A = this chain, B = another copy of it.
Amino acid sequence: MLRALPLTAQAFAPFGEVIEIAGRESLSINQGTSQRFDDLAHIDVLEAGGRPVISIFRASPRALPFEVRVLERHPLSSQSFFPLHGRPFLIVVAEGQQPPVAPRIHAYLSSGSQGVSYRRNTWHHGLIALEQASDFLVLDRGGPGENCEEIELESAVTVT
């Protein structure tokens, strides 16, 4: 059993960035009518002739406890998600580049005003919405090359 912890920039640092404005400095722009919280994640999508691609994912809701059986990673790019409905969602990641096993798997719960950017080659679960079907803005890579690897865990991990 793995308990999902609150998502924080510090806890998530080994896996990528939390996209959020809490605790960040901003620039005043547009004659003072907007605040810009600049450059919140490392968008690493240009490898091997890649280009940035913006998409929307609509995710069906899943329930807790949630059984993690398969993780994926992207060898050619980061992949960034931001929730469009302000609802918490579940993030599951694994430390290191080796095939993931339970002690190296971590789960976090976004507040709903936090997105995440998975660093290239970071093992993570596909998008997990909770409660209701939810839309996410997604920034990843288009271009040549195979950019998705999936792995089935030797033993499933249950996230509560």
Q: Establish whether residues B21 and A58, one from each chain, have CB atoms under 8 Å apart when the complex forms.
A: yes
Tell me if A126 and B31 are in contact (CB < 8 A).
Answer: yes
| Interface pair B58/A38, CB less than 8 Å apart | no
* A43–B36 CB distance below 8 A: no
Interface size of A by CB at 8 A reads 46
Across the interface, which residues of B come within 8 angstroms of A142, CB to CB?
39
Q: Is the CB of A139 within 8 A of B37?
A: no
**The stretch of A6-14, A49-57, A96-104 that contacts the partner chain:** A49-57
Cα(A34)–Cα(B51), bound, Å: 23
* Chain A contacts with B in 7-66, Cβ cutoff 8 A: 19-21, 26, 29-31, 33-41, 43, 45-46, 51-60, 62
